[in-house]
Amino acid sequence: MARKFKAEVSELLDLMIHSLYTDREIFLRELVSNAADALDKVRFLGLTHEDLTAGSGDVDGIRVTVDAEAGTITVEDDGVGLTEAEAVANLGTIAHSGSKKFLQALKEGESSAPELIGQFGVGFYSAFMVADEVSVESLSALPGEEPVIWRSKGKGTYDVKKGTRTTRGTTITLHLREDSTEFADEWRLKGIVKRYSDFLPWPVAVAGEQANTAKAIWQEIPTNVKEEEANAFYKTLSNDWQDPAHRIHLKVDSPLQYAAMLFIPSAPPHDLFLQHVDRGPRLYAKRVMIMEHAGELLPDWLRFVRGVVDSEDVKLNVSREMLQKTPVVRKIREALIKRVLKDLGRLARREPEEGEEDVYAAIWKNFGVLLKEGAYHEHGETREKLTELLRFNALSHEDEDGQISLAAYKEAMPEGQDTIWYLTAESRDSALASPLLESFRKKGYDVLLLTNPVDEWLVGAVTEYGELPLKSVSRGELDMDDEAIEDGADLTGLGPWMKDLFDGAVHDVRASGRLTDSACVLVDSEDGISGNMERILREAQQAAPAAERVLELNAGHPLVKNLAQLHADGKTSVAEPLARLLLDDALLLEGTVRDPAAIGRRLQALLEQASASAINA
Ligand code: ADP
Ligand code: MG
């Protein structure tokens, strides 16, 4: 009976069949990696099941054979196999959330299919890049299951029927397309296995001969591991096609026994910010893989770190729930965090030589947001170390690529400055337009410009550095003026009157100690959330308490002086529209206007008056 593929599979297969990919050879990497997964799974299953269906015994690891005459390649394993239901579910649909993104990325054409296939978990279908018919003969290792044959020409439909296999495992047979007969060659296949699957912990035999090294590279003595080997291992592990930016190799004998090889990718993985994605390094117990992603081994903010952890002290049959409660796991986790932070610290302190790539700058660009997340979540020593790793764009930079550490900021402070100043805003441009920076510019103080939403949380947690407080240029009363304003307006009457006029829209109206040129600015009061935080929460559609904003007036500004005069003379009907527009102006300057139509109306009324008085004058 012919069954239809899910629409997205058909679309995917179409792309596989009709595109001329130069790296079609990766089909073998994908099939071999699936066979290795199946072997890992059955080894693990064997720990809890005594009655698993036996394997053929003559497949030691994974066996690739080729029949040049018939134009077929087979990939065979004694792994966990597939039941009929599993064949339908796993080979007829794309179970992974990444599939839509895969198609999208492929269509956008930024990366080619071979680069994307493994990353998105659509590896099996890559067989159709070289085959016009694929058959999967399988028997599940679970006792009492029936053998199954799955077969498809890749054109919209597939068949599933009863098979005859009597030993557990899977044999995948590819009938090579006419344009792909080059792969019916054992030397070619050996080369491909060596290239992509060298460090798979299972031997892969091609035409009866082991073609890969098949060693657990993480168990080697760290100094013996060559960089190319480690990078090749990283690629098989992560499905990334680029070398990692950094590698950590740990072999610890006491008090716990474990080995870990961790990698920091050189580009962010596509699913870094997706929810409900399994994270964490692969966990092995005495070289048996027991979990593909052990999220317990690294905190969420280190979710960009890939790798393996192999422990002699973790029980093979440990469940996820148990894992969380295992002291061994907690200790390994702490040690891994320490080591990652130590390495990041070293990279961050290192001045790259002329022409050399700045590794830390790249890591920060890709994963800095997560390190900020860490600084916000963690406490004590870990937060301190993370704080040293933070980088910010600042007023002193020419563009938004500029980055400064808190240490460098502190070092560059002029005499008399005793605070690390920052401004949170929607973008660098809106920050630069803010009147809040006027007096800082004048004094020559640098100001960190924080434009990522996570920054609001960060500065709520990291409130000091090197015994200096971190403060917002927008918060509370501030006296930046050295020279007292002479003949400034007296705001004792105007301030309270304006506050009443705005009827709760602002918390207070007062004289400003931070403006040099502008007439007014909105600032945050000493407590409560900032205006920027309110904006972020609102944009994220989260309930936000209203920020308490204070309108500050520049008592030396002619407009403010005139307003104070009008108010003192009792000409409040003239002063009122002007005062309202002053608040509008402050909102416009920080880009948080919520009722532009009202401002438009007020502006028109005022222009009408102004034009009329121009005619009368
Ligand atoms: P992924 O490997 O990322 O899960 P694939 O497209 O490569 O995605 O494989 C899809 C699914 O097909 C696998 O998850 C697995 O359930 C099943 N499968 C493929 N090959 C085998 C095999 N040799 N033995 C058992 N199951 C397999
Ligand atoms: Mg796969």
Residue scoring higher pLDDT (20 or 358): 358
Is the CB–ligand 1 distance for residue 124 below 6 Å?
yes
Ligand 1 atom with the shortest distance to the CA of 125: 6
Q: Which CATH class is domain 494-616?
A: mainly alpha
Q: Whose CA is nearest to atom 3 of ligand 1?
A: 121
Residue scoring higher pLDDT (204 or 276): 204
Query: Where does the pLDDT of residue 512 fall: very low under 50, low under 70, confident under 90, or very high at 90 and above?
Result: very high
Q: Is the pLDDT of residue 438 over 80?
A: yes
- Give the distance (Å) from ligand 2 centre to CA of residue 51: 27
Q: Which CATH class is domain 2-210?
A: alpha beta
Q: Whose CA is nearest to atom 12 of ligand 1?
A: 90
Q: Whose CA is nearest to atom 7 of ligand 1?
A: 123
Count of CB atoms within 10 A of residue 5's CB? 21
Architecture of domain 392-472 in this structure: 3-Layer(aba) Sandwich (3.40)
- Give the distance (Å) from ligand 2 centre to CA of residue 485: 72
Query: Where does the pLDDT of residue 110 fall: very low under 50, low under 70, confident under 90, or very high at 90 and above?
Result: low
- Give the distance (Å) from ligand 1 centre to CA of residue 90: 7
What residue has token string 């510019």? Answer: 441
Residue scoring higher pLDDT (95 or 170): 170
How far is it, in rounded angstroms, from Cα 137 to Cα 171?
5
Q: What is the mean pLDDT of residues 373-395?
A: 97
pLDDT, residue 113, reads 64
From residue 445, how far is each of 222, 415, 418, 432, 591 by CA, in Å?
A: 47, 10, 10, 14, 24
Ligand 1 atom with the shortest distance to the CA of 169: 24
Which of the residue ranges 44-53, 93-102, 417-426, 564-573 would you say has the lowest mean pLDDT? Answer: 93-102
Q: What number of CA atoms fall less than 13 Å from residue 193's CA on the CB side?
A: 30
Q: What is the mean pLDDT of residues 592-596?
A: 85
Q: Is the pLDDT of residue 206 over 90?
A: yes
Domain boundaries, the chain: 2-210, 217-347, 392-472, 494-616
Is the CB–ligand 1 distance for residue 122 below 6 Å?
yes
pLDDT, residue 81, reads 97
- Give the distance (Å) from ligand 2 centre to CA of residue 400: 40
Task: Tell me what percent of the residues of the chain surpass a pLDDT of 90.
Answer: 68
Q: Is the pLDDT of residue 21 over 70?
A: no
pLDDT, residue 261, reads 98
What letter would DSSP give residue 99? Answer: H
Query: Where does the pLDDT of residue 19 fall: very low under 50, low under 70, confident under 90, or very high at 90 and above?
Result: low
SS3 (DSSP) at 472? strand
- Give the distance (Å) from ligand 2 centre to CA of residue 37: 8
How far is it, in rounded angstroms, from Cα 344 to Cα 245?
11
Q: Is the pLDDT of residue 520 over 70?
A: yes
Q: What is the fold, at CATH topology level, of the domain defined by 217-347?
A: Ribosomal Protein S5; domain 2 (3.30.230)
- Give the distance (Å) from ligand 1 centre to CA of residue 34: 5
Is the CB–ligand 1 distance for residue 36 below 6 Å?
no
> Per residue in 120-178, pLDDT tens?
667 898 899 999 999 999 999 999 999 999 999 998 899 999 999 999 999 999 999 99
From residue 109, how far is each of 112, 261, 269 by CA, in Å?
A: 7, 32, 17
- Which residue among 90, 136, 293 is best mutated to probe the pocket of ligand 1, counting the most ligand atoms within 8 A of its Cβ? 90
> Per residue in 471-509, pLDDT tens?
999 998 888 766 666 678 999 999 999 999 999 999 999
pLDDT, residue 114, reads 61
Q: Whose CA is nearest to atom 8 of ligand 1?
A: 121
From residue 123, how far is each of 99, 206, 325, 401 by CA, in Å?
A: 11, 20, 35, 37
- Give the distance (Å) from ligand 1 centre to CA of residue 294: 20
Query: Where does the pLDDT of residue 525 fall: very low under 50, low under 70, confident under 90, or very high at 90 and above?
Result: very high
> Per residue in 219-250, pLDDT tens?
999 999 999 999 999 998 888 889 999 999 99
Q: Is the pLDDT of residue 85 over 60?
A: yes
pLDDT, residue 121, reads 62
pLDDT, residue 262, reads 98
Query: Where does the pLDDT of residue 300 fall: very low under 50, low under 70, confident under 90, or very high at 90 and above?
Result: very high
Q: Report H helices in 46-140.
A: 84-92, 99-108, 113-117
- Which residue among 13, 16, 37 is best mutated to probe the pocket of ligand 1, counting the most ligand atoms within 8 A of its Cβ? 37
Q: Is the pLDDT of residue 97 over 60?
A: no
Ligand 1 atom with the shortest distance to the CA of 77: 23
> Which ligand has the nearest atom to the CA of 127?
1
Q: Is the pLDDT of residue 281 over 60?
A: yes
Is the CB–ligand 1 distance for residue 434 below 6 Å?
no
